[in-house]
């Protein structure tokens, strides 16, 4: 769900920044940070100088507190965090890269990484900076382009099934474990009074693909082959996934025109009982507890997403920290990123923001495994997938959005949609 406007924002600025990158940045920066050149290791001496960070939203509000802790450990360093509005951050980052006038670090959405790396905006992660095995494996995979890592995961965002427990009890159904149970579950919730059995976002540019793709993965389908050289969309598995998505509308479980808009209204509608269930992220927990108070436990159930033939795979996104190629203080920047990636600091940051830490060891430190609601997310993280990290993703995802809407409206069959996706996405390409 995170930052849906990023796709459109990126598409607008990419062209401009790509063409200008060559003349916009001075030659020194280009040669010093040739892509995928092995970066020098970062030593253990204290960081020095000012470290400037761009961070968005609630993360931007809380990051200064980690900065203070960093300054205590590194008295000669100073961390300056500038808050950036989430929706428009891609424009700001792209323009900064194009002009060479960048801060040291930025927070970003994994979807956007490849675009900025293609514009030679980010420096590769120095060898040995972090222990990758301590992170969520898919979150690490989402930082790599052609085998080189360009960012360090800060938090992860995956989606689970939120449902109205009271309505389910009234209807005599329990949380669906498999695809077969999902449609009957949704239909039962609808009978028990919900307007939407399961809320599907059907026609939302920049977002529908995040709802549709997990069904493809759950069917055992994949967007590309293992080496990411070609699309593999016209396969029986993808067709099965698309058919599952379409069946939710066909069976009347989900509305043809379901929407998550206005942004932030999903929790309100779930609390009101207008929505019977929805697949959404952990950020829903806080607002729901606030809205429902003591009734939260009896009204809201959270479960891992129902499994299809390919398992109960859910969408994985999150936040990453990247260091700009033109950073003035790359040494300090990497040291700060290493600092926030320690389990203690990652746990502290998670407590401040309610984000799920990408550092696996931080879960125990933050006590997240003890909260039953959050523990479901921990389970779900064992089964996730991410879209390919490629610069064309903004265009590709909008193609998927379009087919998602047509599937929901019933104007295309899953077979034709799979063939169409293969053709249209191949025309855009993977590079």
Partner 1 sequence: MTIRNTRHSRWYLYIPLLIGLGLTVLPFVWMVSGAFKPQSEILSGEFTLLPENGTLRNFADLFTRVDFGSYFVNSVLVAVAVVLGNLIFCSMLGYALSKIEFPGRRALFAVVMTMLMVPTVVTFVPLFVLVTRMGLANTYGALILPFLATPLGVFIMRQFIREIPDSLIEAARLDGAGEFRIFFTIIIPLSGPALATLAILQFLSSWNEFLWPLVAAQTEDMYTLPVGIALISAGANTVNYGLLLAGATVIVLPILVLFLFLQRYFIQGISTTGLK
Closer of 17 and 237 to partner 1 (Cβ): 17
CB atoms closer than 10 angstroms to residue 378: 16
**Beta carbon of residue 333, minimum distance to partner 1 (angstroms, whole number):** 16
Q: Cis link prior to 291 (omega < 30° from 0)? A: no
Return the structure tokens found at 392.
């064309």
Q: What's CA 289's distance to the chain center, in Å? A: 23
Closer of 101 and 225 to partner 1 (Cβ): 101
| Residues in a beta bridge with 196 | 275
Tell me the site size for partner 1, rule CB under 8 A.
45
Cβ-based burial of 134 (10 A; exposed 0-12, middle 13-18, buried ≥19): middle
- Decide: 255 and 408 in contact? Cβ < 8 Å: no
CB atoms closer than 10 angstroms to residue 291: 16
Q: Is 101 in the site for partner 1 (CB under 8 A)?
A: yes
Q: Is 103 in the site for partner 1 (CB under 8 A)?
A: yes
Closer of 84 and 425 to partner 1 (Cβ): 84
Closer of 171 and 327 to partner 1 (Cβ): 327
Closer of 24 and 308 to partner 1 (Cβ): 24
Closer of 96 and 173 to partner 1 (Cβ): 96
CB atoms closer than 10 angstroms to residue 62: 20
Q: Is 96 in the site for partner 1 (CB under 8 A)?
A: yes
Q: What are phi and psi of 357, to 5 degrees?
A: -65, 140
Q: Is 283 in the site for partner 1 (CB under 8 A)?
A: yes
Q: How many residues would you count in the chain?
A: 431
Out of 49, 193, 287, 311, name the contact with partner 1 by CB under 8 A: 287
Q: Is 83 in the site for partner 1 (CB under 8 A)?
A: yes
Q: Is 361 in the site for partner 1 (CB under 8 A)?
A: no
CB atoms closer than 10 angstroms to residue 262: 8
Q: Is 264 in the site for partner 1 (CB under 8 A)?
A: yes
* Sole window of 71-79, 224-232, 259-267, 374-382 interacting with partner 1 (rule: CB under 8 A): 259-267
Q: Is 191 in the site for partner 1 (CB under 8 A)?
A: no
Q: Binders of partner 1 among 202-231, rule CB under 8 A?
A: none
Closer of 206 and 281 to partner 1 (Cβ): 281
Out of 126, 206, 281, 301, name the contact with partner 1 by CB under 8 A: 281
Out of 269, 289, 382, 409, name the contact with partner 1 by CB under 8 A: 269
Q: Is 58 in the site for partner 1 (CB under 8 A)?
A: yes
Closer of 177 and 289 to partner 1 (Cβ): 289
Q: What is the dihedral of CA 423, 114, 207, 210, to 10 degrees?
A: 80
H-type alpha helices, 262-322: 266-272, 285-292, 296-299
Q: Cis link prior to 262 (omega < 30° from 0)? A: yes
Quick one: DSSP state of residue 193? T
Closer of 281 and 332 to partner 1 (Cβ): 281
Q: Is 85 in the site for partner 1 (CB under 8 A)?
A: yes
How many Å apart are CA 262 and CA 255, to the nearest integer?
16
Q: Is 12 in the site for partner 1 (CB under 8 A)?
A: yes
- Decide: 323 and 123 in contact? Cβ < 8 Å: yes
Q: Name residue, tokens 């060898």.
A: 127
Q: Binders of partner 1 among 18-57, rule CB under 8 A?
A: 20, 23-24, 56-57
- Decide: 155 and 355 in contact? Cβ < 8 Å: yes
Residues that bind partner 1 (CB under 8 A): 1-3, 12-13, 16-17, 20, 23-24, 56-60, 80, 82-88, 91-92, 94-96, 98-101, 103, 262-265, 268-269, 272, 274, 281, 283, 287, 291
């Amino acid at each position: 769900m995170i930052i849906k406007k990023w796709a459109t924002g990126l598409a607008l600025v990419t062209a401009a920044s790509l063409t200008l990158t060559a003349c916009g940045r001075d030659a020194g920066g280009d040669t010093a940070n040739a892509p995928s050149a092995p970066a020098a290791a970062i030593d253990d001496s204290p960081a020095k100088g000012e470290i400037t960070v761009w961070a968005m939203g609630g993360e931007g509000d809380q990051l200064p507190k980690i900065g203070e802790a960093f300054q205590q450990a590194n008295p000669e360093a100073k961390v300056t965090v500038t808050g950036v509005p989430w929706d428009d951050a891609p424009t700001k980052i792209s323009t900064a890269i194009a002009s060479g006038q960048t801060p040291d670090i930025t927070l970003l959405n994994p979807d956007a990484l490849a675009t900025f790396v293609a514009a030679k905006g980010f420096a590769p992660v120095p060898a040995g900076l972090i222990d990758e095995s301590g992170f969520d494996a898919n979150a690490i995979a989402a930082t790599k382009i052609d085998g080189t890592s360009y960012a360090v995961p800060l938090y992860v965002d995956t989606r689970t099934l939120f449902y109205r427990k009271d309505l389910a009890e009234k209807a005599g159904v329990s949380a669906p474990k498999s695809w077969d149970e999902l449609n009957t579950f949704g239909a039962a919730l609808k009978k028990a009074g919900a307007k939407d059995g399961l809320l599907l976002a059907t026609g939302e540019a920049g977002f529908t693909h995040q709802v549709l793709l997990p069904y493809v993965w759950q069917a055992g389908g994949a967007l590309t082959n293992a080496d990411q050289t070609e699309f593999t969309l016209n396969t029986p598995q993808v067709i099965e996934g698309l058919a599952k998505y379409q069946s939710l509308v066909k069976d009347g479980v989900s509305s043809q025109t379901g929407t998550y808009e206005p942004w932030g209204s999903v929790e309100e509608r779930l609390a009101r009982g207008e929505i019977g269930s929805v697949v959404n992220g952990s950020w829903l927990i806080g607002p729901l507890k606030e809205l429902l108070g003591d009734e939260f436990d009896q009204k809201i159930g959270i479960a891992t997403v129902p499994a299809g033939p390919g398992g109960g795979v859910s969408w994985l996104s999150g936040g990453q920290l990247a260091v700009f190629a033109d950073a003035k203080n790359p040494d300090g920047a990497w040291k700060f990123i290493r600092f926030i990636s320690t389990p203690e600091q990652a746990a502290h940051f998670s407590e401040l923001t309610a984000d799920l830490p990408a550092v696996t060891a931080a879960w125990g430190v933050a006590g997240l495994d003890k909260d039953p609601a959050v523990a479901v997310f921990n389970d779900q993280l064992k089964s996730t997938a991410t879209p390919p990290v490629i610069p064309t993703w903004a265009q590709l995802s909008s193609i998927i959005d379009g087919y998602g809407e047509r599937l929901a409206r019933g104007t295309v069959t899953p077979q034709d949609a799979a063939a169409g996706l293969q053709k249209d996405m191949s025309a855009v390409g993977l590079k």
